[in-house]
A = this chain, B = another copy of it.
Amino acid sequence: MASDANTVNIESAAAVKARGYHHGDLGAALVDCGMRLLESGDAESLSLRAVAREAGVSATAVYRHFADKAALLRALAREGLDQLAQNQRNAMMHAGGGAAGLDASGAAYVRFAVARPQLFRMIMSNIAVANGDVIDQTAAAPERVSGAMRQLRDAIAALAPPGTSAEEVRIIAARSWAQA
Contacts and interface: CB of A to CB of B under 8 A. Distances in A.
Interface in A118-174: 125, 135, 138-139, 141, 143, 157, 165-167, 170-171, 174
A114 interface: no
A69 interface: no
B167 A143 contact: no
Contact of A166 (B125, B141, B157, B170): B141
User: Which label, helix, strand, loop or mixed, suits the secondary structure of the A interface?
Assistant: helix
A65 interface: no
Contact of A165 (B125, B135, B166, B167): B135
A178 interface: yes
Contacts of A94: none
A166 B171 CA distance: 12
Contacts of A139: 165-167
A175 interface: yes
Contact of A171 (B157, B165, B174): B174
A70 B103 CA distance: 38
Question: Sorted from nearest, which 4 A-B pairs have the closest CB atoms?
Answer: A139-B165, A170-B174, A138-B167, A167-B178
